[in-house]
Chain A
Amino acid sequence: GAGVSQSPSNKVTEKGKDVELRCDPISGHTALYWYRQSLGQGLEFLIYFQGNSAPDKSGLPSDRFSAERTGGSVSTLTIQRTQQEDSAVYLCASSLRVGQNTGELFFGEGSRLTVL
């Protein structure tokens, strides 16, 4: 499809296991963002990638969280040794470089992570 694609849509894991969440942005979008939405909460910024620049990791909550973006396209968010408080919906978004568009971030439908 033409939108941001995320997988898996749902993931249930046991505490202590590692998980990987994937995001496939819209083709041609240079910026990619990860946000986290906990139950009843707003969206919490995690990390973003812009072209070949160093990613802004300032929102990652702990060193158990990491993300990479290969070839300027697909991104993987990895959570190591998951904890119950990691349970949330992880949203990915992409956008064109500012100046080329309205500034709109296009969001995927999210990956719902449940840590038992």
Chain B
Amino acid sequence: AQKVTQAQTEISVVEKEDVTLDCVYETRDTTYYLFWYKQPPSGELVFLIRRNSFDEQNEISGRYSWNFQKSTSSFNFTITASQVVDSAVYFCALSDLIQGAQKLVFGQGTRLTINP
């Protein structure tokens, strides 16, 4: 069965600090996708990134970066120079492909608080 573990329930840092959110996954599939979503206080989940299992190249988007390591089944997310607006709950998710759709399995989420 697929499983996503986000061991960090809550993280609190001071603005401008770098912070890394951990994500470890389990799957028997050889082809799969990994996601990160942000859930701000408004409640609507916002897509951040999708990575497929064949692409282990790290990705950087502005202050955000993702480190995908198949050897350790991890897909960690780092925010550099954090800002108060980064405060949210962040979810890591794993999907397989069924009939052209994607059934996501989510981790429990990490609540990130950036203090001014």
Binding site for B on A (CB under 8 A): 30-31, 33, 35, 41-45, 48, 50-51, 53, 56, 89, 91, 93, 95, 97-99, 102-110
Contacts and interface: CB of A to CB of B under 8 A. Distances in A.
A107 B101 contact: no
Contact of A95 (B43, B44, B102): B102
Contact of A42 (B43, B91, B102): B91
Contacts of A30: 100-101
A50 B101 contact: yes
A39 B75 CA distance: 25
Tell me whether chain B's interface is mostly helix, strand or loop, or mixed.
Answer: strand
A110 B44 contact: yes
Given A45-B104, A98-B102, A104-B47, 10 more contacts: A30-B101, A31-B102, A33-B101, A42-B106, A43-B45, A43-B104, A48-B101, A48-B103, A51-B99, A103-B102
Contacts of B47: 102, 104-106
Given A91-B45, A107-B44, A41 B103 contact: no
Contacts of B44: 107-110
30 contacts: A31-B100, A31-B101, A31-B102, A42-B91, A42-B107, A43-B45, A43-B91, A43-B106, A44-B106, A45-B104, A48-B101, A50-B98, A50-B101, A53-B99, A56-B98, A91-B45, A95-B102, A98-B97, A102-B50, A103-B33, A103-B35, A103-B50, A104-B47, A105-B47, A105-B102, A105-B104, A107-B37, A107-B45, A109-B42, A110-B43
